[in-house]
Structure 1
Amino acid sequence: MIGHKRIPSREGGVEIVVDELSTRMVKLGCEVDAYNRFGYHVSGKEFDEKRERYYNGVRIFTIPTPSSSSLNAIVYSFLATIRSLFGRYDIIHFHAEGPCTMIWIPKLFGIRVVATIHGLDWQRSKWGNFASKVLRFGEKMAAKHADELIVLSENMKDYFQKEYGRETSYIPNGIICPEHKEINCIKEKYGLEKDEYILFLARIVPEKGLHYLIDAFKDIATDKKLVIAGGSSHSHDYMDQITTMSQEDSRIVMTGFVQGEILEELYSNSYIFVLPSDVEGMAVSLLEAMSYGNCCLVSDIDENMEVVQDKACSFQKGNVEDLKRKLEELLTRPDIVEKYRKESADYICGRFNWDDVVDRTIYLYMQKEKGK
Structure 2
Amino acid sequence: MIKVCVIGVRGVPLCIGGIETICRELYPLIYQLSTDWDITILARNTVSEKSYTYKGIKIKVIPALTLPGLENFVHTFVSLIYARLFLHPKLVHLHGIGPGFFSWFARLLGFKTIVTHHAQDYLRPKWGFAGRSILRLGEIISCIFANKVICVSESLQIYLDQQYRFLRSKRVVIRNAGSLNFDAVQSDLTVLERMELEPKKYILAVGRLDETKAFHELIEAYNLAQIQNYKLVIVGGGHGTTAYIRKLEKLSSDNVVFAGSFFDDDLAAIYRNAALLVNPSHMEGYCLVVAEALSANLPVLVSDIPPHREFGLPGECFFNVGDVAALARKISVEDYEIYYSVEASKKQMLNTWQSNAEKHVQLFTEMIR
Q: TM-score when scaled to structure 2?
A: 0.90
Cα distance in 1 between the residues matched to 2:292 and 2:325:
27
1:24 matched residue in structure 2: 29
SS at match of 2:80: helix
CA contact (8 A) 1:295 1:312 kept: no
Q: By how many angstroms is 1:26 displaced?
A: 1.3
SS of 1:48's equivalent in the other structure is coil
2:140 aligned residue: 140
Which residue of the partner structure matches residue 208 of structure 2? 203
1:37 and 2:44 aligned = yes
Conservation of the 8 A alpha-carbon contact between 2:182 and 2:265: no
- The equivalent of 2:12 in structure 1 is 7
**Rounded Cα–Cα distance in structure 2 between residues aligned with 1:360 and 1:183:** 33
- 1:228 aligned residue: 234
Task: For residues 295-315 of structure 1, give each alpha carbon's deviation from its aligned partner in whole angstroms, at most 9, with x where no partner exists.
Answer: 111101001111243397111
The 5 Å alignment of 1:156-175 reads 156-165=156-165, 166-167=167-168, 168-175=171-178
Once the two structures are superposed, residues 43-81 of structure 1 have per-residue CA deviations (whole angstroms, 9 ceiling, x without a partner) of xxxx63244421111111101012333332122111111
Q: Look up the SS of the partner of 1:31 in the other structure.
A: strand
What 5-or-longer segments of structure 2 have no aligned partner? Answer: 1-5
Instruction: Specify every segment of 5 or more residues in structure 1 that has no aligned partner in the other structure, as ranges.
Output: 39-46
2:186 counterpart (162, 181, 184): 181
In 1, Cα distance between the equivalents of 2:212 and 2:195? Answer: 26
Coordinate RMSD, CA, aligned: 2.1
Match of 1:315 in 2: 319
* Kept in 2: contact 1:272–1:294 (CA 8 A): yes
Distance 1:335 1:90 in 2: 50
1:238 to 1:101, Cα distance in 2 relative to 1, 3 A: same
Alignment of 1:299 with 2:320, yes or no, is no
1:93 alignment partner, SS class: strand
Which region of structure 1 is more displaced relative to structure 2, 232-241 or 146-155?
232-241
Which residue of the partner structure matches residue 3 of structure 2? none
Q: Secondary structure at the match of 1:98?
A: helix
Whichever residue aligns with residue 171 of structure 1, its letter is: I
Selected match of 2:255 from 247, 251, 254: 251
Question: What residue in structure 1 maps to residue 84 of structure 2?
Answer: 85
* Equivalenced residues, count: 355
| CA drift at 1:157 | 0.9
Superposition deviation, residue 181 in structure 1:
3.2
Q: Distance in 2 between matches of 1:18 and 1:219?
A: 38
Alignment of 1:68 with 2:75, yes or no, is no
* Residues 1:234 and 1:164: Cα distance change in structure 2 (over 3 Å): farther
Shift of 1:107: 0.9
Q: Secondary structure at the match of 2:310?
A: helix
Where does residue 365 of structure 2 map in the other structure?
366
Instruction: From the superposition, tell whether residues 72 and 10 of structure 1 become closer, same or farther in structure 2 (CA, over 3 Å).
Output: closer
- The answer to whether residue 284 in structure 2 is matched with residue 280 in structure 1 is yes
Distance (whole Å) between structure 1 residues aligned to residue 133 and residue 215 of structure 2: 25
Write out the 4+ residue segments of structure 1 that deviate beyond 4 Å after TM superposition: 341-344
CA distance in 1, matches of 2:224, 2:117: 38
Deviation at 1:235, TM superposition (A): 6.3
**Do the aligned partners of 1:204 and 1:230 also contact (CA within 8 Å) in 2?**
yes
**Corresponding residue number in structure 2 for 1:240:** 246
Q: Deviation per CA, 1:84-108, whole angstroms, max 9, x where unpaired?
A: 1232211101111111111111211
Distance change >3 Å, CA 121–CA 301, structure 1 → 2? same
One-letter amino acid matched to 2:174: I
Code of the residue aligned with 2:47 in structure 1: it is D
2:356 corresponds to: 357
Which range moved further: 309-318 or 198-207?
309-318
CA contact (8 A) 1:294 1:344 kept: no
The corresponding residue for 1:59 is 58
Find the residue that maps to 1:233 and give its secondary structure. Answer: coil
Q: How far, CA to CA, are the matches of 2:192 and 2:155 in structure 1?
A: 40
Indicate if the aligned counterparts of 2:304 and 2:320 stay in contact, CA closer than 8 A: yes
Percent identical residues: 27
Residues 299, 337 of structure 2: 8 Å contact kept? no
Secondary structure at 2:94 match in 1: strand
State which drifts further: 142-151 or 61-70: 61-70
Query: Is 1:333 the counterpart of 2:338 in the alignment?
Result: no
Amino acid paired to 1:101: F
- CA distance in structure 2 between the partners assigned to 1:122 and 1:116 by the alignment: 15
Describe the shift of the 1:114–1:294 C-alpha distance in structure 2 as closer, same or farther (beyond 3 A). Answer: same
